A and B are shown apart, each in its own frame.
Chain A
Amino acid sequence: MINRRITILGPEGTNVYVIFQYLIFCVISWFTLFNITNEIGLDIQNVLVRQITFTLLGLTVFFLFTYVSITNIFALSNVLMISSTILLIGVLFTAESLGARRRYDLGVFDFQPSEFTKIAFVIFLAAVISQKRNNLLALALIFSNVLLVYSQPDLGTTIILLSVVLGMYFISDVKVKTLFAFLITMFLSFFILLELDLVSSFQVQRITDFYSAEIQDFSQKQSRLQISLGGFLGDSLSNTENISIFVPVQTTDFIFSSFAKSYGFIGCIVLLFLWIFFGFRVYSLIITTDSEFEKFLLAGFMILLYLQILINIATVVGLIPLTGDPFPLLSLGGSSIIAVSSIFGIINRIFIENNQVI
């Protein structure tokens, strides 16, 4: 292992590009939140100051991770997965809020263990797949986590976790047949759960509502209208007249709707191309790195981030039913920002270790 000197931006060989990309996403979030607070009269102190605090916390986490070598991350994979399981069990004993038990109240912000699970999941899977440790215990750990998230209940995260499992096994040399079998089992078990009445009627209703005559839910229709309002250039600079529109959770799950309204079609293209560009950079790293673990780790993280973004936008524009997933680095929320910051930190570390410097 190389001993790296410490510089202002991190360990010697730090990739300025990743930090830069990370900061751009954070600043976009601040601007979007600033527009929202102006428009619907939210307490600016409460929203923007909180988000900036979260970003600073996230930045700290980002730098902490750039000092953790990938060998250590690999060594920690089991510990992380077990802690995630414990945290998920613990959260089931917390007080219910809005019909679910998802968060620990830490005072400054609510800690959602499922955000931590997402990271632990990718690290653990990368370790398991690259080592070909496909034993029963590993699978049991993976699926117990999925079930625990499902029982919060949190259908959105469950779907994301399952897709990550599927995606990461798919890019290994597992037979396609096996994956099909896995998919079919998943579908069957969902219907069995449905039969056994273990799926909350609320979730079923959401799905059935969506595919019945009424295509979109009320808030999605409103969100579509709000996106339309942005037009080509957005209305962040012009003064919009008082409009009556009803988009819920504008600062979190539906933040993309406000973003699209403020910055228009051009803003959406810029934001998404920043993410695509980031994807290309990571893709080239996946190809060049020699370590199997790093390949799976990077691919896993990209699948995780892209899935969240695609699912979030798809719900906001009304292509799929409401799931309640945040937009990485754009939505207001401590847990999500800190989780994505750790992912960026680990990716940055892999760039450093492969001497990919810009």
Chain B
Amino acid sequence: MFSKFRLNVIFLIFAIFLSLIFRELFILQIIDNDENTQDIVNQNFETFYIPAPRGEILDLNGNKLAESILEPYLFLNQKKINAENITIYKQFISFNFNDLTNTEIDNFFSSNELFVEIANLNDYETDLRIKIQEYEAFEIFNQPKRAYIYKELFSHVIGYIGKPNQDELIEYSNAFGNKTVGKNGLERYYENILSGKPSEITLQNGEIVEITPAVPGKDIQITVDVNAQEVVKESLQQGIILANKSFDTVNLIERGAVVVQKIDTGEITAMVSLPDFNPNQFVSGISEFEFKKLNRTQAFNNFAIQGLYPPGSVFKVVAYWLAVNEGIFPEDALNSGQYVNCEGSLSFGFDDGSKQVYQDWKPEGHGRVNLSEALKQSCNVYFWDIALKIWRTFGNTDSEAMLQEYSKELGFSSLSKIDLPFEKEGVIPDRELFEDWKISKPELVRPEGWLGGDLMNLIIGQGAITTTPIQVSNAYRALLTGIKSNPYLFNDDSNVNEENINISSEFINFLLDDLNLVTNPGGTAYRSFQVMGDLTYDIGGKTGTAQNAGDLNNTSWFVGVDSISNPKYLIVTVVEEGGSGSAVAAPVSRRIIQYLLEENLTPVEFGEITE
């Protein structure tokens, strides 16, 4: 039975409790108002930050690539050091931490930090921690330490962390408390995700009054596969050794890059740039000597996104697409199937009566070639003919830059917007650019400005054009899917923007079949792929050999497709001064394709010199 009386008793208890609260509020807000407001003005807090652990970076299969381990560090509370106890603490430190020099110890005591970091206690015996407890100015805080598990393997993808500079302190609000900030690679690009909120230690008159725990950074799982990355790096290293053995170059050949990209999504399965470095060196502070040494070899550059190279013949697919789309073929041909004669050189005249002769890389000529054969044998004459036709039909009109427009449509001369910092965009030259350069960089252009010869150079990927390996990979991906989107290493749902390009499935099949010819008998990369036997029937690619100014050796390029019937991966390989694409870059890519097809790996061996 419900008892009204007893309910009243309960409400009465509540009422008494409530009146106590009102009394307290009245005292606080009305009576003590002034006094407490004064107290607040007088209380001065100081805050010290302990860095939050950064999020882990995991590969496609969940292997840890970077982690943050909490380690106990000894700190000295400066506010508790006075004239009486300073010698005791100095002695204690110099006695127990004998690898610290006297000046280092003196610096601890003259520091203006609230807490001074003395040492990582994991480096010392455990009984030391018990001794420390007797000294009230000592505090032990757990601080995270970044570790890059695969050392050099992911140096350019993951990047490294370092002390924040002024700009970074402004840009990243947690950088001050965390004492480090991502400097390069994913560590920088995803700084806001990876870095957490530092732990806040509040002190009043030297006593810790409050500790707000840190909020650790979030983990990211990236698209790179450790095993693929390892094979790619080995293959590129073999290719570089091979190039040094095969060519008598002025400089040591040591730079190169490989990008392995998934065709359907655009994600990056492997990305290697050589030379590389061990990012763990930055964790405990890199010496200036070591830094400068690495910097001289350009080890900090990620050539996959920052290396600017003329693409050479790998660029011919742009003209290939233009030719099919616009129906522009060499003078005698009406369609892509019709043959023209390549005699190893092309001579042509201009309106002003001058005549010029361009020599193909194959002096005896390629014979009868159509579009497919021209791509397969990398025949320059055929493509020059296309350039001439564009020049003669559209020169000095709005349409003269159609090749440049096709290039830009595929993403050349603009950032691929991959999720890595400091990407370079390269150059697709045209009349306007040459006019600008006449003023800003007169040493690079002739006084006549943009000429037909420049267009002929451009169509075979030579001259002023520069591209990065990631751009080339992404452009091939656009041609093979009809979708242009930014490549990525970490998919956080919001960072992929797709744009459709008008490419028919007929064209895609036509292009795939012609790329297939390149790795088969008669193609420029056949020698490099021969070792794979019948498998070459389903593999494709395009070689590129870009000439460099002066006595530099050629840049070696190869763009590979792992399968023609079911294309999954694009493999773009560049070896700076690696010579002919079919000699060095092609066999490097071949070894990577062997891995992707789960075949036995055979060493990188010299292909042949073409182009």
The answer to whether B213 and A98 have CB atoms under 8 Å apart is yes
> B31-39, B296-304, B532-540, B568-576: which one contacts chain A?
B31-39
Q: Given A172-B3, A310-B21, A246–B45 Cβ distance below 8 Å? A: yes
Q: Given A224-B36, A286-B7, A317–B30 Cβ distance below 8 Å? A: no
Q: Please report the C-alpha to C-alpha distance between residue A219 and residue B210 in the assembled complex, in whole angstroms.
A: 8
The answer to whether B21 and A314 have CB atoms under 8 Å apart is yes
Residue in chain B with minimal CB distance to A219? B210
Shortest B218–chain A CB gap in Å is 13
> B10-18, B388-396, B501-509, B581-589: which one contacts chain A?
B10-18
> A9-17, A62-70, A264-272, A349-357: which one contacts chain B?
A264-272
Q: Given A218-B210, A244-B44, A230–B29 Cβ distance below 8 Å? A: yes
The answer to whether B30 and A268 have CB atoms under 8 Å apart is no
Which residues in window 250-282 of A have CB below 8 A to B? 260, 264-265, 268-269, 272, 276, 279
Answer yes or no: B6 CB below 8 A from chain A CBs. Answer: yes
The answer to whether A319 and B24 have CB atoms under 8 Å apart is yes
Q: Which of A167, A226, A231, A245 contacts B30 (CB 8 A)?
A: A231
Task: Tell me what chain A mostly uses at the interface: helix, strand, loop, or mixed.
Answer: helix
Q: Please report the C-alpha to C-alpha distance between residue A243 and residue B42 in the assembled complex, in whole angstroms.
A: 10
The answer to whether A229 and B17 have CB atoms under 8 Å apart is no
The answer to whether B29 and A231 have CB atoms under 8 Å apart is yes
Q: Which of A218, A219, A232, A299 contacts B29 (CB 8 A)?
A: A232
Shortest A354–chain B CB gap in Å is 15
The answer to whether A248 and B212 have CB atoms under 8 Å apart is yes
Q: Which of A224, A264, A272, A303 contacts B10 (CB 8 A)?
A: A303
Answer yes or no: A295 CB below 8 A from chain B CBs. Answer: yes
Q: Given A225-B36, A317-B24, A167–B10 Cβ distance below 8 Å? A: yes
Which residues in B have their C-beta under 8 angstroms from that of A276?
Answer: 18
Which residues in B have their C-beta under 8 angstroms from that of A245?
Answer: 40, 43
Residue in chain B with minimal CB distance to A244? B45
Answer yes or no: B209 CB below 8 A from chain A CBs. Answer: yes
Which residues in B have their C-beta under 8 angstroms from that of A130?
Answer: 2
Answer yes or no: A210 CB below 8 A from chain B CBs. Answer: no
The answer to whether B25 and A260 have CB atoms under 8 Å apart is yes
Query: What is the number of contacts between chain A and chain B, taking CB atoms within 8 Å?
Result: 105
Q: Please report the C-alpha to C-alpha distance between residue A219 and residue B2 in the assembled complex, in whole angstroms.
A: 42
Which residues in B have their C-beta under 8 angstroms from that of A269?
Answer: 22
Q: Please report the C-alpha to C-alpha distance between residue A15 and residue B556 in the assembled complex, in whole angstroms.
A: 81
The answer to whether A171 and B40 have CB atoms under 8 Å apart is no
Which residues in A have their C-beta under 8 angstroms from that of B22?
Answer: 268-269, 272
Answer yes or no: B281 CB below 8 A from chain A CBs. Answer: no
Q: Which of B3, B4, B21, B210 contacts A317 (CB 8 A)?
A: B21
The answer to whether A228 and B28 have CB atoms under 8 Å apart is yes
Which residues in B have their C-beta under 8 angstroms from that of A96?
Answer: none
Shortest A301–chain B CB gap in Å is 13
Q: A171-B2, A317-B21 are in contact. List 20 more A-B contacts (CB 8 A).
A: A130-B2, A170-B9, A172-B2, A224-B36, A227-B25, A227-B29, A231-B33, A232-B29, A244-B43, A248-B210, A248-B212, A260-B25, A260-B29, A264-B29, A272-B18, A283-B7, A287-B4, A292-B1, A303-B10, A319-B20
Q: Given A225-B40, A313-B21, A314-B21, A173–B45 Cβ distance below 8 Å? A: no
Q: Please report the C-alpha to C-alpha distance between residue A314 and residue B23 in the assembled complex, in whole angstroms.
A: 11
Q: Please report the C-alpha to C-alpha distance between residue A310 and residue B44 in the assembled complex, in whole angstroms.
A: 31
Which residues in A have their C-beta under 8 angstroms from that of B41?
Answer: 243
The answer to whether B210 and A229 have CB atoms under 8 Å apart is no
Answer yes or no: B282 CB below 8 A from chain A CBs. Answer: no
The answer to whether B25 and A265 have CB atoms under 8 Å apart is yes
Answer yes or no: A306 CB below 8 A from chain B CBs. Answer: yes
Q: Please report the C-alpha to C-alpha distance between residue A229 and residue B37 in the assembled complex, in whole angstroms.
A: 6
The answer to whether B18 and A228 have CB atoms under 8 Å apart is no
Shortest B230–chain A CB gap in Å is 33
Q: Given A172-B1, A173-B1, A306-B14, A244–B40 Cβ distance below 8 Å? A: yes
Q: Please report the C-alpha to C-alpha distance between residue A243 and residue B209 in the assembled complex, in whole angstroms.
A: 17
Interface string of A143-178 (1 = CB under 8 A from B): 000000000000000000000000100111100000
Answer yes or no: A124 CB below 8 A from chain B CBs. Answer: no
Answer yes or no: B202 CB below 8 A from chain A CBs. Answer: yes
Q: Please report the C-alpha to C-alpha distance between residue A219 and residue B30 in the assembled complex, in whole angstroms.
A: 21
Which residues in A have their C-beta under 8 angstroms from that of B21?
Answer: 272, 310, 313-314, 317, 319
Answer yes or no: B26 CB below 8 A from chain A CBs. Answer: yes
Q: List 13 A-B contacts (CB under 8 A).
A: A170-B10, A172-B2, A229-B40, A231-B29, A243-B40, A246-B202, A248-B210, A248-B212, A265-B30, A268-B22, A287-B4, A310-B21, A319-B20
The answer to whether A279 and B11 have CB atoms under 8 Å apart is yes
Answer yes or no: A296 CB below 8 A from chain B CBs. Answer: yes
Residue in chain A with minimal CB distance to B200? A246
Shortest B36–chain A CB gap in Å is 3
Q: Please report the C-alpha to C-alpha distance between residue A243 and residue B14 in the assembled complex, in whole angstroms.
A: 35
The answer to whether B25 and A171 have CB atoms under 8 Å apart is no
Shortest B217–chain A CB gap in Å is 16
Q: Please report the C-alpha to C-alpha distance between residue A218 and residue B125 in the assembled complex, in whole angstroms.
A: 35
Which residues in A have their C-beta under 8 angstroms from that of B32?
Answer: 228
Shortest B572–chain A CB gap in Å is 39
Q: Please report the C-alpha to C-alpha distance between residue A149 and residue B333 in the assembled complex, in whole angstroms.
A: 84
Q: Please report the C-alpha to C-alpha distance between residue A294 and residue B14 in the assembled complex, in whole angstroms.
A: 21
Residue in chain B with minimal CB distance to A176? B6
The answer to whether B36 and A295 have CB atoms under 8 Å apart is no
Which residues in A have their C-beta under 8 angstroms from that of B213?
Answer: 98
Interface string of A287-328 (1 = CB under 8 A from B): 100001001100100010010001001100111000000000
Q: Please report the C-alpha to C-alpha distance between residue A286 and residue B10 in the assembled complex, in whole angstroms.
A: 14
Residue in chain B with minimal CB distance to A295? B2
Q: Please report the C-alpha to C-alpha distance between residue A248 and residue B10 in the assembled complex, in whole angstroms.
A: 32
Q: Please report the C-alpha to C-alpha distance between residue A314 and residue B213 in the assembled complex, in whole angstroms.
A: 25
Which residues in B have their C-beta under 8 angstroms from that of A173?
Answer: 1, 3
Q: Given A244-B43, A317-B21, A229–B36 Cβ distance below 8 Å? A: yes
Shortest B6–chain A CB gap in Å is 5
The answer to whether A265 and B45 have CB atoms under 8 Å apart is no
Which residues in B have their C-beta under 8 angstroms from that of A296?
Answer: 2
Which residues in A have their C-beta under 8 angstroms from that of B30?
Answer: 231-232, 265
Q: Given A170-B6, A171-B6, A246-B209, A228–B36 Cβ distance below 8 Å? A: yes
Residue in chain B with minimal CB distance to A173? B1
Q: Please report the C-alpha to C-alpha distance between residue A167 and residue B9 in the assembled complex, in whole angstroms.
A: 10
Which residues in window 53-110 of B have CB below 8 A to A? none
Which residues in B have their C-beta under 8 angstroms from that of A170?
Answer: 6, 9-10
Shortest B199–chain A CB gap in Å is 13
Q: Please report the C-alpha to C-alpha distance between residue A229 and residue B209 in the assembled complex, in whole angstroms.
A: 21
Residue in chain A with minimal CB distance to B7? A171
Shortest A247–chain B CB gap in Å is 10
Q: Please report the C-alpha to C-alpha distance between residue A286 and residue B6 in the assembled complex, in whole angstroms.
A: 13
Which residues in A have their C-beta under 8 angstroms from that of B7?
Answer: 171, 283, 286, 299
Q: Please report the C-alpha to C-alpha distance between residue A265 and residue B32 in the assembled complex, in whole angstroms.
A: 12
Which residues in A have their C-beta under 8 angstroms from that of B2?
Answer: 130, 171-172, 292, 295-296, 299
The answer to whether A265 and B40 have CB atoms under 8 Å apart is no
Q: Please report the C-alpha to C-alpha distance between residue A111 and residue B212 in the assembled complex, in whole angstroms.
A: 23
Q: Please report the C-alpha to C-alpha distance between residue A218 and residue B20 in the assembled complex, in whole angstroms.
A: 22
Shortest A344–chain B CB gap in Å is 19
Which residues in A have their C-beta under 8 angstroms from that of B25?
Answer: 227, 260, 265, 268, 317
Residue in chain B with minimal CB distance to A234? B29
Residue in chain B with minimal CB distance to A272? B18
Residue in chain A with minimal CB distance to B45? A244
Which residues in B have their C-beta under 8 angstroms from that of A230?
Answer: 29
Give the most central of A219, A246, A279: most B CB within 10 Å: A246
Which residues in window 193-224 of B have CB below 8 A to A? 202, 209-210, 212-213
